[in-house]
Amino acid sequence: MRARQRLDEIYAIAQHRAGYSPEEDAAHELAARWMREAGLEISRDDAGNLFGRRGEARVWAGSHLDSVPTGGRFDGALGVVAALEAAERLPAAPLAVVAFRAEETGPMGSKTVTSFPDAYLEVHIEQGPVLARLGEPLGVVTAIAGQARGFRVFEGRADHAGTTPIDARADALVDAARFILHVRESAREGTVATVGAIEVEPNATNVVPAKVTVSVDARSADGDLLAALIEEIEFEVQWKSDPVPMSDAFAKVLPDAPRVVSGAGHDAMFIPNSSMLFVRSLNGGISHHPDELSSDEDIALAVDALTAALARLAS
């Protein structure tokens, strides 16, 4: 299918297309060529976001074309390619296909957008196993999770690892280990919490750990659940974002599709009146990895749904 061929073409430019790199530039050039071929008018804003417009476009559809170093074919690029397919199926509809810049590092492009459309639609690979577990090809995203990131510090005392009796130690890493389990146990239905980084001082094999700093990443699409989770874990919050509810544009055309939340951030967070559609991730939901995969059949269903949603909004 053409959408899949185009994903392969973008991937062939480079697996790693960092934001504002020559590789991302090349992907934008390629997308601009496809937009022109579809009869769309090309423009770029100050951030370098690429638009392919037809008429007084009040509805946008798209995603991003940058990728992480270990990226696969679908993250981001699928949303742009699907939007191109839908735009060609609606030759009279006033709409814009958009490719945002540098989503993986910020996002930098969508964050700067100030002239908003009535609606923004984004198709994205799920990047998780939920839809595959449900046996469903598509999921309507109800909200993008809010996040809290921070840390917790444990203070102990450095001592000789051979001569200090166990009951005479103040081992900061043992306290941190208990905390890491507590973080995991605090995450219940509707929330996730992760310790992804620890710093041990002095970090020597023969010294009792004196000080340990543990990172915490807590997320929920429900603001109350997120607040309760932060309170239960007890950590120093350095940065926090609120959940972002999505509009019902995809729900209107897919009334029976499962409702899911997005644990990851997306461009849609920064554009008002956004709606997102997830496409089932195969291979166990693996993403940011070359084995990332959605089937041609599932992509075709996503393009159908996007076309129907755009037709409603752009008419």
Catalog residues that contact Zn ion under the rule CB under 5 A: 75-76
By beta-carbon proximity to Zn ion, the closer residue of 147 and 186 is 147
Q: Which regions of the chain does DSSP assign to beta strands (E)?
A: 41-44, 50-54, 59-64, 95-100, 119-125, 138-144, 146-155, 191-194, 198-201, 211-220, 236-241, 244-245, 259-262, 274-279
- Nearest distance, CB of residue 122 and Zn ion, angstroms: 9
By beta-carbon proximity to Zn ion, the closer residue of 109 and 156 is 109
- Nearest distance, CB of residue 52 and Zn ion, angstroms: 19
- Nearest distance, CB of residue 169 and Zn ion, angstroms: 46
Q: Return the structure tokens found at 94.
A: 């006033």
By beta-carbon proximity to Zn ion, the closer residue of 66 and 171 is 66
- Cα three-residue angle 301-302-303, rounded to 5 degrees: 90
Within 10 A of 73 (CB to CB), how many other CB atoms are there? 24
290 in Cβ contact with 305 (< 8 Å): no
- Nearest distance, CB of residue 251 and Zn ion, angstroms: 21
Cα gap 28→12, rounded to integer Å: 13
- Nearest distance, CB of residue 11 and Zn ion, angstroms: 14
- Nearest distance, CB of residue 289 and Zn ion, angstroms: 13
By beta-carbon proximity to Zn ion, the closer residue of 171 and 292 is 292
Amino acid sitting at position 92: A
Q: Return the structure tokens found at 147.
A: 């996040």
174 in Cβ contact with 159 (< 8 Å): no
Q: Which of 310, 314, 288 is nearest to 125 (CA)?
A: 288
| Contact partners, residue 102, CB within 8 Å, separation at least 6 | 18, 19, 20, 24, 64, 66, 108, 109
By beta-carbon proximity to Zn ion, the closer residue of 30 and 125 is 125
217: left (phi over 0), alpha (psi -120 to 50) or beta: beta
By beta-carbon proximity to Zn ion, the closer residue of 48 and 156 is 48
By beta-carbon proximity to Zn ion, the closer residue of 52 and 76 is 76
Rounded alpha-carbon distances, angstroms, from residue 186 to 24, 172, 271, 304: 40, 21, 32, 40
**Residue with token string 């496809």:** 34
- Nearest distance, CB of residue 262 and Zn ion, angstroms: 10
- Nearest distance, CB of residue 207 and Zn ion, angstroms: 43
- Nearest distance, CB of residue 292 and Zn ion, angstroms: 10
To the nearest 5 percent, what fractions of the chain are helix, strand and coil?
35, 25, 40
By beta-carbon proximity to Zn ion, the closer residue of 23 and 75 is 75
By beta-carbon proximity to Zn ion, the closer residue of 24 and 171 is 24
